[in-house]
Amino acid sequence: MGTVVDAQNMKYGRKVIVVFVLGGPGSGKGTQCANIVQHFGYTHLSAGDLLRAEIKSGSENGTMIQSMIKEGKIVPSEITVKLLQQAMQESGNDKFLIDGFPRNEENRETFESVTGIAPEFVLFFDCPEEEMEKRLLSRKQGREDDNMETIRKRFKVYMESSLPVVEYYSSKGNVRKIDAVKQVDAVFEDVKAIFNSTIEKVAPYEDFPTSLNTKMP
């Protein structure tokens, strides 16, 4: 099981629990994260949602992010980590699901080195590419990156960059794999079993301070 290093406790004045949620685009991560939030009290942080919010803000970073997403590229680690840190600071919670991040080894190294946090575990939604493509093309959420060309670019990036992150944590025995092809309710039953068996080994949430007195850098 992953741990939070001593430097993390010193920096934030409390223990912070992070679960990385990984899987290909369309594997159902967002839906299951909403269920986890409701049942286990985590704050859900989607790297993709944070990046899209930055785009909508019209900032210089947002313009650059928009161009990279259109090309199916991965946004620089420092930008994404900064957005995640800000969201964690503002949440007031101590337990976080970080969805769709880290997307590559550089993301992982940057997050762990900057924040001092190692994940309790990685929740990996395993889903075939054909199923993910079908879901993305049918969800009709109005996202400009939900078109065939960009979807296939995203799959390529996922296979080349994100799977090595899963393999890294798997080598440490820190991955909990989910069969994401099942129906939503059945998938969540598997998710609940993982959280019930793993999180109960962590000190109770009530034992940690609930306020964040030290701002993140």
* pLDDT on residue 209: 35
33 torsion bin: left (phi>0), alpha (psi -120 to 50), beta (else): alpha
139 is in an annotated binding site: yes
Residue 201 marked ligand-binding: no
DSSP calls for 127-179 = --HHHHHHHHHHS----TT-SHHHHHHHHHHIIIIIHHHHHHHHHTT-EEEEE
User: What is the mean predicted confidence (pLDDT) over 156-162?
Assistant: 79
16 is in an annotated binding site: no
Q: What is the pLDDT of residue 89?
A: 87
Beta bridge partners of 121: 19
Q: Is 100 annotated as a binding residue?
A: yes
Q: Is the pLDDT of residue 125 over 90?
A: yes
> Is position 154 annotated in a ligand binding site?
yes
Residues 6+ apart with CB under 8 A from 170: none
**CA trace torsion 175, 181, 184, 185 (10° rounding):** -80
- Give tens-digit pLDDT for 45-75: 988 889 989 999 988 889 999 998 888 787 8
Residue 107 is assigned to a ligand binding site: yes
CB 77 within 8 A of CB 23: no
Q: What is the pLDDT of residues 168-192, one digit of tens each?
A: 999 999 999 999 999 999 999 999 9
Provide the residue type at 135 as one letter. Answer: R
Establish whether 101 is an annotated binding residue: yes
Q: Is 95 helix (H, G, I), strand (E, B) or coil?
A: strand
152 is in an annotated binding site: no
Confidence of residue 194 (pLDDT cuts 50, 70, 90): very high
Name residues whose C-beta falls within 8 Å of residue 210's C-beta, 6 or more positions apart in sequence. 92, 94
Which tens digit of pLDDT belongs to each residue from 11-34?
445 678 999 999 888 888 888 999
Instruction: Give the whole-angstrom CA distance, residue 136 versus residue 184.
Output: 15
pLDDT number for residue 3: 38
For residue 37, pLDDT beyond 90: yes
- Judged against a pLDDT cut of 50, whether residue 108 lies above it is answered with yes
The verdict on whether residue 182 carries a ligand-binding annotation is yes
Q: Determine which of 92-96, 140-144, 149-153 has the lowest per-residue pLDDT on average.
A: 140-144
Q: Is 137 in contact with 151 (CB distance < 8 Å)?
A: yes
Residue 8 binned pLDDT confidence (cut-offs 50, 70, 90): very low
Do the annotations mark residue 135 as ligand-binding? no
Does 116 show up as a binding residue in the annotation?
no
- Please say if the pLDDT value at position 5 is more than 60: no
Is 55 labelled as part of a ligand binding site?
A: no
Fold exhibited by the domain 6-195: Rossmann fold (3.40.50)
User: Known binder of ligand: residue 52?
Assistant: yes
Any known ligand binding at 165? no
Q: Is 117 annotated among the ligand-binding residues? A: no
Per-residue pLDDT, 175: 95
Tell me the domain boundaries of the chain. Answer: 6-195
